[in-house]
């Protein structure tokens, strides 16, 4: 079981003059619109509200940001420079026989082993709009920057969808409330 959870952890990882409608962060990042648009992630039944300034990343952008990794997300949206993104991956893993808390602990152990410079802020099981989800929040190092991740996953029978709200540490302060509001908006159809 631990081997499966460690593999699951690997899959998730290879998975970051102002008007009233703008917000300037301490590091000079300007968020042009604080509003959110509700969408359904393509080829899923997951609804989520995303910042209106975010655009869907092209396959080439996903390959660039995630290095052509086999576990790159299936879908992502982000700001203009892709420093802050929301991505979706799917893991073909059936966790229906295992309590989510146990899945979470196994995944955390895997992250601790393989994520460079991981610093934990949160890891727990939460209820999000009537469904239990595992949430991981941490900072870690990439090749050229430090990244703040808020990652959620849940069991849907034979699959575990993974949503990652990811931002460079430099941009996180400016996008944090939008990312958390977006996270809070995640919904699945009843019965899932």
Residue range of the domain that includes 143: 2-184
Residue 152 lies in a domain: yes
Looking up residue 123, the CATH number of its domain turns out to be 3.40.1000.10
Residue 192 lies in a domain: no
**What total number of domains does the chain contain?**
1
Residue 44 lies in a domain: yes
Residue 191 lies in a domain: no
Calculate mean pLDDT across residues 98-117.
94
Torsion angle (degrees, nearest 10) of CA 35, 79, 69, 120: -70
pLDDT digit string (tens) for 171-192? 999 999 999 999 999 998 865 6
Residue 190 lies in a domain: no
- Encode 102-111: b = buried (16+ Cβ within 10 Å), e = exposed: ebbebbbebb
pTM of the complete model beyond 0.95:
no
């Amino acid at each position: 079981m631990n081997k499966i959870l460690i593999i699951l952890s690997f899959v998730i990882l290879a998975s970051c003059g102002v008007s009233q409608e703008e917000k300037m962060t301490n590091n000079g990042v300007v968020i042009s619109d604080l509003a959110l648009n509700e969408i359904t992630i393509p080829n899923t039944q997951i609804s989520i509200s995303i910042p209106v300034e975010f655009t869907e990343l092209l396959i080439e952008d996903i390959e660039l940001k995630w290095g052509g990794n086999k576990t790159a997300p299936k879908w992502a949206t982000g700001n203009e420079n892709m420093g802050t993104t929301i991505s979706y991956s799917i893991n073909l893993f059936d966790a229906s026989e295992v309590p989510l808390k146990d899945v979470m602990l196994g995944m955390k152990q895997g992250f601790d082993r393989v994520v460079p410079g991981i610093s934990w802020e949160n890891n727990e099981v939460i209820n999000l709009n009537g469904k239990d989800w595992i949430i991981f929040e941490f900072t870690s190092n990439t090749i050229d920057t430090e990244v703040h991740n808020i990652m959620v996953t849940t069991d849907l029978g034979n699959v575990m969808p993974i949503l990652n709200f990811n931002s460079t540490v430099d941009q996180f302060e400016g996008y944090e409330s939008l990312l958390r509001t977006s996270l809070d908006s995640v919904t699945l159809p009843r019965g899932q």
